[in-house]
Every structure is written in C-alpha cells, then in structure tokens.
Amino acid sequence: MTATPDRLNDPPAPAAAPLHGLRRLVDGAGIAGGLAVALMALHVVLDVAARNLAGLPLSGTTEFVAGWYMVAVVFCALGSVHARGDHIRVDLIDMIAGPRLDGLLTLFTSLVFLAAAAAMTVWGIDDALDATLRGERVEFATWALPVWPGRWLVPAGFALTGLVALLDLGRGLHRLTGRRPPRGDAA
C-alpha cells in the first residue's frame, strides 16, 4: 500500500491563488480542530480536579464538550482529513488499476463525496440557521451556554470537504483523459 500524498500540498502556480487559499483554509481548520482537542482535554482535567480536590465540579463541562469541543474536533478536521486522504479507504483496486480505471474510480468517488458533502452542507445550514434564530442554549441555574454557534461548524466542515472533493473531481478527470494536471492546479 502506498502513502497518499496531500492533494493540496503542491506548490501553487501563480494562477492557482484559489488553491493556495483553500490550502490555508484546510490547514487552519485542521489546526482549529487540534486546538479544540487540547482545550477539551484541559477543560475535562480541570473539571475532574475541581470535583476531586474541592468537591466542586465545573458547571456545564459535559454540555460544553458535547456542544462545542466535539463538534469542532470532528467538523473542523473533516476537510483536512479528506485532503490528506487519511479517511477510510480501500486501496486494493488502486494497486491493480491502470491510470484510466483509477481516474474513473476517482471521478466516481469524488462525485459521490461531493454530492454527500453538498447535501450535508445544505442540511447543516438549515439546522444551524434554525438553532441561531431560536438562540439555542443550555440553561443552568445561574447562567446559559449558547450552543448555536457550534452548529455552524457542521456545514462549514462539509463545505470545506466538498471543495476538496471538487478538486479530486478535477484530478479524476485529468487521469481519465490521460493528461497530467497542471502543477498546483488540480487536487
């Protein structure tokens, strides 16, 4: 099995400024997902320490983890994972397929991934807009935790993943036609 290179990692050509911007966006979202993991771990450690040492757990830790951190961990990293090819894949056919069949398979999987990402983006926007308009929050005795902003990470993550899938679609078309994609311009 061969390692899949990062499809956005080619140095961008001067005409590929949007690709460079997408690379920065994907990297930034991945970093945000990593920061969410670190903040979640710190928050949980502080909650456990406060509960065990002082008998005073931090109010809302579970809700904060569920409504903010976990959503950010999953959906901020989604586009980055897809760009690097780190999601679950079956490479058996890739090992025996020629460039044309590989291009056809890449084209097909990119279309399916793009359609799913587009559908989930539309659904996520509808859900996030509804949560925003309702001012969705979790109420506690002395304060309220707004959770509606975290809802926007779902469509943002799927939209970013869809853009990466769109670049994969271009890569599949280039493989199918037998032409080499322009440097820095294809997925």
Q: What is the per-residue pLDDT across 56-106, written as a single tens digit (0 to 9) for each?
A: 988 889 999 999 999 999 999 998 888 887 777 666 776 777 767 777 887
Please tell me the total count of domains within the chain: 2
Question: In Å, how far from its chain's centre is CA 177?
Answer: 29
**pLDDT-based confidence at residue 178 (cuts at 50, 70, 90):** low
More confident call, 106 vs 45: 45
**What would the mean pLDDT of 107-115 be, rounded to a whole number?**
89
Verify that 93 and 175 share a domain, yes or no.
yes
Global pTM reads: 0.79
Verify that 95 and 175 share a domain, yes or no.
yes
CB contact at 8 A, 33 and 80: yes
Domain containing 69: what range? Answer: 21-80
Angle at 6 between CA 26 and CA 24, to 5 degrees: 25
**What would the mean pLDDT of 168-179 be, rounded to a whole number?**
74
**What would the mean pLDDT of 33-60 be, rounded to a whole number?**
94
Verify that 61 and 115 share a domain, yes or no.
no
More confident call, 11 vs 118: 118
